[in-house]
Amino acid sequence: MADRQALDEVVTFTSDLIRIDTTNRGGGDCQERPAAEYAAARLAEAGLAPTLLERTKGRTNVVARIEGSDPSADALLLHGHLDVVPAEARDWSVHPFSGEIRDGVVWGRGAVDMKNMDAMILAVVRFWARQGVKPRRDIVIAFTADEEASAEDGSGFLADRHASLFEGCTEGVSESGAFTFHDGSGRELYPIAAGERGTGWLKLTARGRAGHGSKVNRDNAVTRLAAAVARIGDHEWPLRLTPTVRAALTELAAVYRVAPDLDDVDGLLKKLGPAAALVEATVRNSANPTMMDAGYKVNVIPGEAVAYVDGRYLPGAEEEFRTTLDLLTGPDVEWEFHHREVALQAPVDSPTFASMRAAVEEFAPQGHVVQYCMSGGTDAKQFSRLGITGYGFAPLKLPEGFDYQALFHGVDERVPVEALHFGVRVLDRFLRTA
């Protein structure tokens, strides 16, 4: 792509979208509609007919379809969310919703998660409209609400209530993949996501006998809950290798010229050095206690205590996760899913993955593409209800020392202008050939 307008627009659109505050605090406290209207207007200018859809007033989604040249080909879903997590302005070097462009960098909440990708999509679509480009496959574009919470007003609503808009889609592409990972020794890795751990956010409840804080109480709900939380936090989950993670370890072993010993994964991870960070969170299930709530006065033993745990499970390992939680919580603590979503796995030998690899390698020939499984989750979980296989592919070429993963939900979130330019070029190349 040599279109200067597209390169300028991706920067402008990223900045503009950041300035539209779409903070999602959970519990329905978010308004994505201004960002949705902005995106819809840019699509309409490119000759598309976007549809705006809401389950709840102000929680707006945008869907549009680009007709491909091959009616027999399966359609491809290209999706990005419009909401962002909260940001405290006092903690930032610039205001998080300024969209400031300084020294070749765009600053603000959403710069990497994921208004940058939203802007790339818009810039590519508009470039195609100017050049008369038609992709081989139908491409369905979806900008969603509520990804940073339950997705009930976003991709979940679209999948459950508007499935017809995604007719023919067999694969989907969205965030968290094809970014530069620098290993500290001069190598550049480009992980492309072909899987996600499942989400198991848990609510733990312990009940006991309320009473005076000065009295002996063997039925203390807080004590019971604290013991269960400690067991969960201390638990060592067993190793479980999914096909995606096996492929990632094998590819990384080849890059680093070490034996791909999958019988000693912990030893292999040590040999991979910093690159182990791409896979070490996805070789096991996990459960991390995050919140506790009990009592209302220091000298009163409450009759109930509650905690929350962020649990994640690998594809095929949900039953093991459930059974283990039953054992760890014990007979005195009940647990339930506060929020649950499936684990995902996508083939790494598909033509679509090969197209993503080729697109990255064309513009980063010195890089090494590797498969990986995301430790968290995306809207691909909800779209999987429609039989859509999800990949993570939001390309960015990042300079050494730029800690991309730390900026997700972090302070001073930002993205280099050159990274956005790379992303537009790679996305254009991929979508033409997918």
- Answer yes or no: is pLDDT of 252 > 80: yes
* Distance of alpha carbon 175 from alpha carbon 383, whole angstroms: 14
For residue 143, the model assigns a pLDDT of 98
Q: Is residue 147 annotated as a catalytic residue, yes or no?
A: yes
For residue 45, the model assigns a pLDDT of 98
CA 287 vs CA 173, 231, 265, 266: distances in Å? 28, 10, 20, 19
Fold exhibited by the domain 4-176+378-433? Aminopeptidase (3.40.630)
pLDDT one-digit tens code per residue, 124-151: 999 999 999 999 999 999 999 999 999 9
- Pick the catalytic residue: 16, 147, 196, 379? 147
- Answer yes or no: is pLDDT of 1 > 70: no
For residue 408, the model assigns a pLDDT of 87
- Pick the catalytic residue: 9, 83, 148, 183? 83
Sign of the alpha-carbon dihedral angle for 8, 419, 118, 359: positive
CATH 3.40.630.10 intervals, the chain: 4-176+378-433
Q: Is residue 332 annotated as a catalytic residue, yes or no?
A: no
Q: Residue 59's closest CA among 164, 166, 172, 148?
A: 148
- Answer yes or no: is pLDDT of 2 > 90: no
Average pLDDT, the chain: 96
- Answer yes or no: is pLDDT of 7 > 70: yes
For residue 403, the model assigns a pLDDT of 86
- Answer yes or no: is pLDDT of 286 > 80: yes
CATH of 201-234+288-341, one of 3.30.70.360, 3.30.465.10, 3.40.50.300, 3.30.499.10: 3.30.70.360
CATH 3.30.70.360 intervals, the chain: 201-234+288-341
Q: Check: CB of residue 362 under 8 Å from CB of residue 421.
A: no
For the chain, report the end-to-end CA distance as a whole number of angstroms.
16
For residue 66, the model assigns a pLDDT of 98
pLDDT one-digit tens code per residue, 329-360: 999 999 999 999 999 999 999 999 999 999 99
Q: Residue 111's closest CA among 421, 415, 418?
A: 415
Confidence of residue 255 (pLDDT cuts 50, 70, 90): very high
pLDDT one-digit tens code per residue, 380-428: 999 999 999 999 999 999 999 898 888 889 999 999 999 999 999 999 9
339 φ/ψ angles, rounded to the nearest 5 degrees? -160, 135
pLDDT one-digit tens code per residue, 96-129: 999 999 999 999 999 999 999 999 999 999 999 9
Q: Order the strands of the 286-294 sheet from edge to edge.
A: 286-294, 304-313, 198-207, 333-341
Q: What is the pTM of this model?
A: 0.94
